[in-house]
Structure 1
Amino acid sequence: MTTLKVAASILLVLVTHCSWAQSSLSIGIKDSVRSVVLSEKRMLNIYLPEEYDQSDTTKYQVIYLLDGGMDEDFIHIAGLVQFNTLPWIKRIPPSIVVGIVNRDRKRDFTFPTTVAEDKARYPTAGGSGKFIAFLEKELVPYIQEKYRTSGAKMLVGQSLGGLLATEVLIENPYLFDKYVIISPSLWWDNGSLLKRQMVVAVSPPTTDIGVYIGVGKEGLAPGTVPHVMEVDANLLSEKVSKLQNKRIHPEFDYLPEEDHATVTHQAVFNAFRKLYPR
């Protein structure tokens, strides 16, 4: 055997040994639900609290995360949840995170628009009604049946996900008891969502609803009519505040050091502090 072949054999043994010595690091599990409403299978990324096991009888709140893919917001938001539930921090209660992996976020997170430019830029848009029905009638019941949940539910959404979360808050507010709405794309359909009457205005809540609205230094949003992201987010906060209902607790947060691309992580961290005051 030549020297070159001997060296190659040794290298192969070393590489094989190193690969055997490695072990995987898991931060969650993959799950899925077959949706009749959406006529498709939806993939889920699930983070479970460290103490969650078969012998544990504790029930946990659930944080439903829009844009919940591994290449989206699941990893860093699950990390924030893990950090804020450490025994020496205990900012929020131990929680399950359900990251909803996208198939077509422009379809799922937008309601029908009357604006021609919106339709041209997002030809599949307008499916939020079905997606909200999926959340209410399929996903939440599935999670509640399969996992040990307490009934406490939070919805987290940013950008178009923030638009969807705002629509749920306005039209179906009792689906969740906490909302984290970040940089919502309220420019959609020339800001028509801000003009809708909130369900809680005519049917006041009997339980507490926490609402966090965060936005960075973002400026003009796309659209035929100029919309400033910070202004629209503040208008939403004012809309909720004007209800003057003691059961609804709005928190507005301006993050001037963040922009549309960077705001989510810091906003969720801030939301945990504001929605779970000590």
Structure 2
Amino acid sequence: MKYFKWLFTAALLASSFQSLANDYEVVNIDSEVLDERRQYQVLLPEDYFSTSQNYPVIYRLDGAENIPLMKEVLGRLQKADAAPDVIIVAIENTDRLHDMYPTVNQDRNGPVGIGGGAKKFLAFIEQELIPDVEKRYRTHSTRIIAGASAAGVFSLYAMQQRPGLFNAHIAYSPAVWWNAGAMVERTKKWLSTKPSESAYVYMNMGNEGLPMRPYYDALLTAFSNHENPHLSLVLNEHPGVSHGLTSAAGIFNAYQSFFLSKTFPREKVTANMQVIDNYYRRLGEQWGIDPTPPENVVRELGYYFDWQKKPHLAMMLYKHNMSHHLENPDAIAGVAYGYEGQNKLREALTYAKKALAVATEDIPYYDYFVENVARLENKLKGTEKAN
């Protein structure tokens, strides 16, 4: 019975991987830098062929086996407007430890005499892989590099060796014990130069002990001792999570912390409406989309502050929203709602009529604009009669 159960599970897994393989494109590239043929896999957004949009690119080290988890987590974030659609490029290796580590290991805790190929591997990524990806696909300027363990070390190395090549560097449980903490020492020297290129850095750690943990703690101390306004550092601890599972444990936080959400955070609203415009300008640059603040988001911020008994701030939001969406009946109706809340019925009626004037009958809720005008007219008449 167990044998048949195993057969069924194996068949199911095989079917699943075959389905995944059909989802992504496999590209071969003959590298002059590495003097060998390399391969990478590309997962495109579902709507890639029905739009003309350019997309941010995530370069995931350690190959296509990481695509399924990334697809699911990013998909959830995208549905919540907390991340853009992205192109995922999974990079394969022929000699992983050689590619990922910048120095040859002399520490007896690991394979002595291995490593030292990171400089060439990074040159391959910068000079051949990225240009090949950007020639084949519609890419946006936002680039992310992510990797675990040895690949996490490479992610940190890329940040230091080629500042600005990537906007975000994700290192799940980076194996900084390699070669007696050579990357820790390298990072200390790099931080001491006060780097000015903006970068997002995500790192996490599970239940690793010796030899990993002391070196990782030393790395955190280095970042703490050299605080830099240009570096956005996000750290996670996962007690009880094994080394091999830290990428699964950290992937949501890594991307949710990097990508700006389309929903402007309520706690950042001030009387200075420029804060909102600046936020969406940055979001537009990061996502590769129109930087105009979304109409429904800003209007709903107005509703929220109305409910919080802050009508003046709410009205500032309604009017700022309308300034970006002058012909949008919802934005105009938001101003009418704000004035009504302040019991300024004439002003409310004026804007309700403006909203009706630009509304079209194909809007599913067109009747609302008609009824809103009639309701405010009756309310105003009743108020005037009472006076």
| TM-score using structure 2 length | 0.58
Q: For the Cα contact (< 8 Å) 1:237–1:251, is it kept in 2?
A: no
Is 1:239 paired with 2:239? no
Task: Measure how far apart 1:241 and its partner are.
Answer: 4.4
Per-residue CA shift, 1:176-199, capped at 9, x if unaligned?
010111111101110021112227
151, 156, 163: which is aligned to 1:161? 151
Change (3 A) 1:156 1:46: same
SS of 2:124's partner is helix
Change (3 A) 1:102 1:139: same
Greater fraction of residues in strand? 1
Change (3 A) 1:103 1:78: farther
SS of 1:272's partner is helix
- 1: CA distance between counterparts of 2:192 and 2:121? 21
Change (3 A) 1:123 1:244: closer
Q: For the Cα contact (< 8 Å) 1:37–1:134, is it kept in 2?
A: yes
Change (3 A) 1:215 1:40: same
- 1: CA distance between counterparts of 2:239 and 2:97? 27
Change (3 A) 1:135 1:28: same
32, 36, 40: which is aligned to 2:36? 40
Is 1:251 paired with 2:234? yes
- 1: CA distance between counterparts of 2:126 and 2:35? 15
Task: Structure 2 unaligned segments of length 5 or more: list them.
Answer: 1-17, 262-387
Length, aligned pairs only: 241
Is 1:63 paired with 2:58? yes
Task: Measure how far apart 1:250 and its partner are.
Answer: 0.5
Q: For the Cα contact (< 8 Å) 1:77–1:265, is it kept in 2?
A: no
98, 117, 135: which is aligned to 2:108? 117
Percent identity (aligned): 28
52, 69, 75: which is aligned to 1:82? 75
- 2: CA distance between counterparts of 1:239 and 1:40? 37
**Greater gyration radius:** 2
Task: Structure 1 unaligned segments of length 5 or more: list them.
Answer: 1-22, 221-226
Change (3 A) 1:228 1:116: closer
Quick one: higher RCO (CA 8 Å, sep 6+), 1 or 2? Answer: 1
Task: Measure how far apart 1:90 and its partner are.
Answer: 2.0
The aligned residue for residue 132 of structure 2 is 142
Task: Measure how far apart 1:272 and its partner are.
Answer: 1.4
Task: Measure how far apart 1:79 and its partner are.
Answer: 2.6
210, 214, 228: which is aligned to 2:212? 228
The aligned residue for residue 117 of structure 2 is 127
Task: Measure how far apart 1:152 and its partner are.
Answer: 0.4
The aligned residue for residue 5 of structure 1 is none
| TM-score using structure 1 length | 0.79
Per-residue CA shift, 1:217-240, capped at 9, x if unaligned?
1212xxxxxx333x4334334433
